[in-house]
């Protein structure tokens, strides 16, 4: 019963989630990479010449929601970031991988995503 409730809750979460819906192809996106676990697509409002989002296909709301069991998945997502940065031609000049977590960081979509930004110079610290 408890587990049924958890499953129903998780399903509802992903039904309402924009990035889950992109992963399920219910909403179109410019997809640049996909495997069984990970999806990458272009940000709809790019903040740099290259602006990709890398997500786990499984719904994880954000960085506060990961566990040790996700170590491999998160590492895989970083490797996808590295490979796509190379493919997009921004590896040599440099690029930024960012995760916004929570309100103060400006997280707008509650499904974990790495931003991969490149093709221009970035400032530090970020605004
Ligand atoms: P964050 O503020 O870290 O949650 O980033 C969410 C990102 O998702 C923003 O950069 C948005 O431009 C991007 N975004 C929102 N809707 C879409 C969409 N339908 N397809 C692609 N990117 C999106
Ligand atoms: Zn989701």
Neighbours of 85 (CB within 10 A): 22
**What pLDDT digit, counting tens, does each position of 14-27 carry?**
789 999 999 999 99
Q: Note the ligand closest to the C-alpha atom of 17.
A: 2
- pTM value is 0.93
Matching residue, tokens 């997009």: 88
Confidence of residue 5 (pLDDT cuts 50, 70, 90): low
Ligand 1 atom with the shortest distance to the CA of 27: 19
Q: Which residues, judged by CB distance below 6 Å to any ligand atom, belong to the binding site of ligand 1?
A: 18, 27, 29, 41, 43-45, 53, 100, 106-109
**What pLDDT digit, counting tens, does each position of 61-84 carry?**
999 999 999 999 999 999 999 999
Write out the E strands in the chain.
31-34, 38-42, 50-56, 95-98, 114-118
Q: What is the pLDDT of residue 24?
A: 97
Q: What is the pLDDT of residue 12?
A: 60
Q: Where are the domains of the chain?
A: 2-118
* Residues 41-63, mean pLDDT to the nearest whole number: 98
- Peptide bond just before 125 cis, omega within 30 deg: yes
Verify whether residue 113 is a known catalytic residue.
yes
Looking at domain 2-118, its CATH class is alpha beta
Instruction: Report d(CA 84, CA 116) in Å as an integer.
Output: 9
Q: What is the pLDDT of residue 14?
A: 78
């Amino acid at each position: 019963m408890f587990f049924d409730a958890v499953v129903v809750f998780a399903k509802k979460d992903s039904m309402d989630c924009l990035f889950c819906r992109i992963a399920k192809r219910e909403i179109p996106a410019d997809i640049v990479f996909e495997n069984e676990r990970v999806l990458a697509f272009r940000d709809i409002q790019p903040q740099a010449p290259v602006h990709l989002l890398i997500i786990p296909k499984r719904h994880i709301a954000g960085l506060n929601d990961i566990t040790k069991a996700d170590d491999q998945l998160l590492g895989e997502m970083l490797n996808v970031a590295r490979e796509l940065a190379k493919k997009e031609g921004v590896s040599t000049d440099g690029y930024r991988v960012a995760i916004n977590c929570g309100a103060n960081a400006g997280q707008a979509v509650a499904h974990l995503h790495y931003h991969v930004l490149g093709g221009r110079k970035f400032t530090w610290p970020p605004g």
